[in-house]
């Protein structure tokens, strides 16, 4: 079984690309398309170079799975298109199994960031809005409709999710191999 995480150079490349995307998302609230295209080409080419057609198949399927994991969130207005494309790029490096782990971990990291952001927004709004019964009717809303997509740069969560997936990769592979051989 071809492990898409077997090459340290490709892992270094995806982490570097993610760091650039993270900085861009923090500064400009956008992820450059050129960065994603270069990343996709490097992921596809790198895995093809490592394992031929089998590597290309893993990279293409990883990119598609990464895209499909976040596409419903884009369609529902929860994530921006750049975030979806960034996860697809990550899939080209991680492969389909690990990009699913990265996607779930990104959603968990994003949830923690979102809760912290809401707490910070409410606490910075002042105590005038808080009553004994909870937030008053005049308190600022932080629901989906009132929060612009650029409020939380999601590349931070994606970077964290990929780090979790890289750390969890040996466990995932051992579990998968144990299930296959049983």
Cα separation, 128 vs 139, in Å, equals 8
Q: From CA 4, how far away is CA 59, in angstroms rounded? A: 8
Residue 119 lies in a domain: yes
Question: Tokens for 95?
Answer: 């492969």
**Count of residues making up the chain:** 182
In a domain, 3, yes or no: no
Backbone angles phi, psi at 76, to 5 degrees: -85, 0
29, part of any domain: yes
Query: Cα–Cα distance between 6 and 50 in angstroms, integer?
Result: 9
| 152 contacts: CB under 8 Å, gap ≥ 6 | 110, 113, 114, 117
b/e map 87-118, b = 16+ CB within 10 Å: bbbbbbbbbbbbbbbbbebbbebbeebbeeee
Number of domains forming the structure of the chain: 1
**1 part of a folded domain:** no
- Residue 84 inside a domain? The answer is yes
Number of neighbours of residue 181 by Cβ within 10 angstroms: 6
Residue 93 is assigned to a structural domain of this protein: yes
Residue 155's domain spans which residues? 8-181
What's the pLDDT score for residue 138? 47
Q: Which residues pair with 134 in a beta bridge?
A: 131
Per-residue DSSP letter, 53: H
Cα–Cα distance for residue pair 26/107, rounded to 1 Å: 18
Q: 10-23, pLDDT tens digit by residue?
A: 999 999 999 999 99
Task: Concatenate the DSSP letters of all residues of 130-148 into one string.
Answer: EETTEE-TTSPP-SGGGS-
Q: Give per-residue pLDDT as tens, 56-68.
A: 999 999 999 999 9
Pick the most confident of 3-7, 93-97, 125-129: 93-97
| pLDDT at 51 exceeding the cut of 60 | yes
- Banded pLDDT at 5 (limits 50, 70, 90): confident
Q: Give the tens place of pLDDT for each residue, 144-153.
A: 444 454 468 9
| Residue 63 covered by a domain | yes
The alpha-helical segments, DSSP class H, found in 29-181 are 33-75, 81-124, 155-181
């Amino acid at each position: 079984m071809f492990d898409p995480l077997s090459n340290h150079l490709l892992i270094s490349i995806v982490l570097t690309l993610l760091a650039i995307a993270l900085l861009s998302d923090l500064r400009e609230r956008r992820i450059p398309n050129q960065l994603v295209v270069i990343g996709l080409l490097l992921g596809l080419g790198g895995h093809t170079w490592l394992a031929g057609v089998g590597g290309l198949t893993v990279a293409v399927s990883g990119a598609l799975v990464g895209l499909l994991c976040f596409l419903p969130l884009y369609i529902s207005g929860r994530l921006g298109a750049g975030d979806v494309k960034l996860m697809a790029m990550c899939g080209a490096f991680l492969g389909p199994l690990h990009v699913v782990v990265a996607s779930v971990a990104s959603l968990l990291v994003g949830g923690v960031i979102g809760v912290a952001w809401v707490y910070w927004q409410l606490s910075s709004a002042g105590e005038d809005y808080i009553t004994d019964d909870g937030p008053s009717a005049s308190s600022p809303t932080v629901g989906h409709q009132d929060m612009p997509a650029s409020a939380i740069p999601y590349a931070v969560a994606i970077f964290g999710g990929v780090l979790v997936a890289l750390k969890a990769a040996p466990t995932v592979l051992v579990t998968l191999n144990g299930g296959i051989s049983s």
